[in-house]
Amino acid sequence: MLLLVNGREVDVPEGVTVAMYVAQNGLTPDRIIVEHNAEIIKREIWDEVVLKPADKLEILTFVGGG
Amino acid sequence: MTDVLNIGGQQLTSRLFLGTGKFSTNKIIPEVVAAAEAEVITVALRRVDTAFNEENIAACIPEKCVLLPNTSGARNAEEAIRIARLAQASGCGNWIKIEVIADNRYLLPDNFETIKATEVLAAEGFIVLPYMSPDLMTAKRLAAAGAAAVMPLGAPIGSNRGLRTKELVKILIEEISLPIIVDAGIGRPSEAAEAMEMGAAAVLVNTAVATAKDPIAMGRAFSMAVKAGRTAFLAGPGAIQEYASASSPLTGFLHD
């Protein structure tokens, strides 16, 4: 199924949770912040959020800045 | 009695806030922070680039430091508010530097949108430090909106042009009771000292340190400059005069 991750179209198998997506993409949970369909999703419930077609995921992290 | 800067309930002994952008490598940041003796460290929030495995910035910032995420990238209040809430969701604290910019050439902040964002975020309990163009009415509105400090620019971000807005910043220091933190444009330790001598509560420096040939040494230089300027301010500098006034008595000369 197709969804948007950080503005780019991505093909993800059905039934994948946010937690699974994070793990499968080698992302470090305590370094990222996840927004699912414009809602901030706390790490504790990542494994409860199942991704659906046309979902919008924003995965963010802190970078250098002034 | 130690000279302490109180912002949002945090007692800070360092008046040098440090940015983490533009370093050639993030690995030197811990040493720069130590040399600069900085306590408040700014970071930005961006989409993760899974293709590029960058050294994580949060890992480079000592635990005892106060993290100050900025809302860079926000073009209006709504975007700034969203970024602030996302930053807070990281669990790294509730300080936020509001940075709302829609001008790509000079990166001058949008004071109007900044006030709007401050109103919302201060009401949500954030410790808000708004980055602004030095305008007295804006500063008054930011204070009324619940900002914890006001951060006027000295010159455009990254320009190293110093205190081009000196006169306006002086007015803010005089008229606004909140800490005034000069943020952006400071290019030399002498300029940081100048801001502190004027009565600024602190300065935020990024480019001048990050792009120096030796950022660690430059961090140290800025630390000394900020302390010198602050000490001078507290010592009460002498008056600036039009005409000369001799240093020694005008009597007892070795001539008639």
The predicted-structure confidence for B112-159, as pLDDT tens digits, reads as follows 999 999 999 999 999 999 999 999 999 999 999 999 999 999 999 999
Q: Which pLDDT band holds residue B52 (cuts at 50, 70, 90)?
A: low
What is the SS3 assignment for B6? strand
| Contact with chain A for residue B206, Cβ under 8 A | yes
Q: Comparing A22-31, B187-196, B205-214, which segment has the lowest mean pLDDT?
A: A22-31
CB contact under 8 A, A62 and B72: no
Burial B187-225 (b: 16+ CB within 10 A, else e): bbbebbbbbbbbbbbbbbbbbbbbbbeebbebbbbbbbb
**From the CB of residue B55, how many other CB atoms can be counted at a distance below 10 Å?**
12
Who's near B22: CB < 8 A, 6+ residues apart? A64, A66, B158, B206, B207, B210, B211
The reported pLDDT for the residue numbered B1 is 61
Question: Chains A and B: how many Cβ contacts under 8 Å?
Answer: 91
Contact B115, B141 (CB under 8 A): yes
Smallest CA–CA distance from B47 into chain A, residue: A60
How far is residue B70's CA from residue B240's CA, in Å, rounded to a whole number?
Answer: 38
Q: Which residues of A touch B183 (CB under 8 A)?
A: 66
Is 90 exceeded by the pLDDT of residue B60? Answer: no
**From the CB of residue B41, how many other CB atoms can be counted at a distance below 10 Å?**
25
Is 80 exceeded by the pLDDT of residue B179? Answer: yes
How far is residue B34's CA from residue B26's CA, in Å, rounded to a whole number?
Answer: 14
Contact B209, B215 (CB under 8 A): yes
Q: Which pLDDT band holds residue B256 (cuts at 50, 70, 90)?
A: confident
Calculate the CA B144 to chain-centre distance.
20
Q: How far is CA B9 from CA A9, B5, B12, B163, in A?
A: 44, 10, 9, 29
| Contact with chain A for residue B44, Cβ under 8 A | yes
**From the CB of residue B253, how many other CB atoms can be counted at a distance below 10 Å?**
8
Who's near A33: CB < 8 A, 6+ residues apart? A40, A59, A60, A61, B45, B86, B87, B89, B90
The reported pLDDT for the residue numbered B56 is 74
Task: Select from B209, B139, B206 the least CA-distant residue to B179.
Answer: B139
Contact B76, B101 (CB under 8 A): no
Contact B187, B207 (CB under 8 A): yes
The reported pLDDT for the residue numbered B55 is 63
Smallest CA–CA distance from A39 into chain B, residue: B86
| Contact with chain A for residue B86, Cβ under 8 A | yes
ipTM greater than cut 0.90? yes
Q: What is the mean pLDDT of chain B?
A: 95
From B22, B27, B64, B97, active-site residue: B97
pTM, to two decimals? 0.94
Q: What is the mean pLDDT of chain A?
A: 94
The reported pLDDT for the residue numbered A31 is 86
What are the φ/ψ torsions at residue B191 (nearest 5 degrees)?
A: -70, -35
**From the CB of residue B120, how many other CB atoms can be counted at a distance below 10 Å?**
18
The residue written with tokens 């000295």 in the block is B154
